[in-house]
A and B are shown apart, each in its own frame.
Chain A
Amino acid sequence: MVSKFLELPQAIESYVKSGDLIAMEGFTHLIPFAAGHEIIRQKVKDLTAVRLTPDLIYDQMIGAGCIKKLIFSWGGNPGVGSLHRFRDAYQNGWPNKIEIEEHTHAGLTNRYVAGASGIGFAVLKGYSGSDLGEHTKNVSEVKSPFSDEVLTAVAAINPDVTILHAQQADKAGNVMMWGITGVAKEAVFAASKVIVTVEEVVEKFSPKFSSMIIPSNLIDAISVVPNGAWPSYASDFYERDNNQYIAWDEISKEREIFSKWLDDEIYSKSTAGKK
Chain B
Amino acid sequence: MSENLNSTWTADEMMTIAAARTLKDGNTCFVGIGIPSTAAILAKSMQAPNLFLIYESGTVNTNPQKLPLSIGDGELANHALTVVSMPEIFNYWLQSGRIDVGFLGAAQIDKFANINTTFIGQTYDSPKVRLPGAGGATEIAASCKEVAIIIRQTTRTFVKQVDFITSMGFGEGPGSRAKNRLRGGGPSRVITDLGILEPDPETLELTMTYLHPGVDIDQAIENTGWELKVSPNLKTTKAPEQSELEKVRALVSTSDK
**Are the chains A and B members of one assembly?**
yes
A233 within 8 A of B: yes
Among B77-85, B145-153, B205-213, the stretch that binds chain A is: B77-85
Q: Point out the residues of chain B lying under 8 angstroms from A275, CB to CB.
A: none
Against A, the Cβ 8 Å flags (1 = close, 0 = not) of B62-82 are 000000011111101110101
Known contacts A72-B133, A185-B85, A233-B74; is-contact A242 B59 (Cβ 8 Å): no
Residues 168 to 190 of chain B near chain A (Cβ within 8 Å): 168, 171, 176-177, 180-183
A132 within 8 A of B: yes
B136 touches A104 (CB 8 A): yes
A181 within 8 A of B: yes
Chain B nearest CB from A197 CB (Å) reads 18
CA A275 – CA B78 in complex, angstroms? 27
Chain B nearest CB from A78 CB (Å) reads 4
Residues 210 to 267 of chain A near chain B (Cβ within 8 Å): 210, 233, 235, 239-240, 242
A27 touches B58 (CB 8 A): yes
Against B, the Cβ 8 Å flags (1 = close, 0 = not) of A144-172 are 00000010000000000000000000000
Q: Point out the residues of chain A lying under 8 angstroms from B90, CB to CB.
A: 105-106, 109-110, 124
A76 within 8 A of B: yes
Which of these, A74, A125, A127, A185, contacts B132 with CB under 8 Å?
A74
Against B, the Cβ 8 Å flags (1 = close, 0 = not) of A128-148 are 111110010000000000000
B139 touches A126 (CB 8 A): yes
Chain A nearest CB from B154 CB (Å) reads 19
Chain A nearest CB from B50 CB (Å) reads 21
A132 touches B182 (CB 8 A): no
Chain A nearest CB from B59 CB (Å) reads 7
Against B, the Cβ 8 Å flags (1 = close, 0 = not) of A89-104 are 0110000000000111
A130 touches B167 (CB 8 A): yes
B166 touches A130 (CB 8 A): yes
CA A134 – CA B111 in complex, angstroms? 23
B83 touches A87 (CB 8 A): no
Q: Point out the residues of chain A lying under 8 angstroms from B95, CB to CB.
A: 106, 124-126
Chain A nearest CB from B61 CB (Å) reads 12
Chain A nearest CB from B96 CB (Å) reads 9
Against A, the Cβ 8 Å flags (1 = close, 0 = not) of B130-163 are 1111111111011100000000000000000000
A75 within 8 A of B: yes
- Select from chain B the residue with minimum beta-carbon distance to A149: B181
Chain A nearest CB from B111 CB (Å) reads 16
Which of these, B118, B131, B135, B256, contacts A105 with CB under 8 Å?
B135
A182 within 8 A of B: yes
B132 touches A75 (CB 8 A): yes
A106 touches B59 (CB 8 A): no
Chain A nearest CB from B112 CB (Å) reads 11
B130 touches A210 (CB 8 A): no
CA A211 – CA B118 in complex, angstroms? 34
Q: Point out the residues of chain A lying under 8 angstroms from B83, CB to CB.
A: 179-181, 209-210
B130 touches A90 (CB 8 A): yes
Chain B nearest CB from A88 CB (Å) reads 11
Q: Point out the residues of chain A lying under 8 angstroms from B74, CB to CB.
A: 29, 179, 233, 235, 239-240
CA A78 – CA B94 in complex, angstroms? 22
A6 within 8 A of B: no
Known contacts A29-B74, A76-B132, A78-B71; is-contact A104 B138 (Cβ 8 Å): yes
Chain A interface: which size bin? 35 or more
Which of these, A87, A104, A129, contacts B135 with CB under 8 Å?
A104
B138 touches A125 (CB 8 A): no
A42 within 8 A of B: no
Q: Point out the residues of chain A lying under 8 angstroms from B59, CB to CB.
A: 180
CA A91 – CA B73 in complex, angstroms? 30
CA A186 – CA B80 in complex, angstroms? 22
B165 touches A74 (CB 8 A): no
Q: Point out the residues of chain A lying under 8 angstroms from B181, CB to CB.
A: 125, 128, 150
B56 within 8 A of A: yes
B86 within 8 A of A: yes
A104 touches B134 (CB 8 A): yes
Q: Point out the residues of chain B lying under 8 angstroms from A3, CB to CB.
A: none
B142 touches A125 (CB 8 A): yes
Known contacts A76-B132, A109-B87, A128-B142; is-contact A135 B124 (Cβ 8 Å): yes
A201 within 8 A of B: no
Q: Point out the residues of chain B lying under 8 angstroms from A239, CB to CB.
A: 74
Known contacts A106-B138, A182-B85, A210-B77; is-contact A129 B171 (Cβ 8 Å): yes
Chain B nearest CB from A32 CB (Å) reads 15
Which of these, B138, B143, B177, B183, contacts A130 with CB under 8 Å?
B138
B177 touches A183 (CB 8 A): no
- Select from chain A the residue with minimum beta-carbon distance to B134: A104
A47 within 8 A of B: no
Q: Which 10 A-B pairs have the closest CB atoms?
A: A28-B72, A129-B168, A76-B132, A78-B70, A74-B135, A210-B83, A106-B90, A129-B180, A79-B69, A104-B134
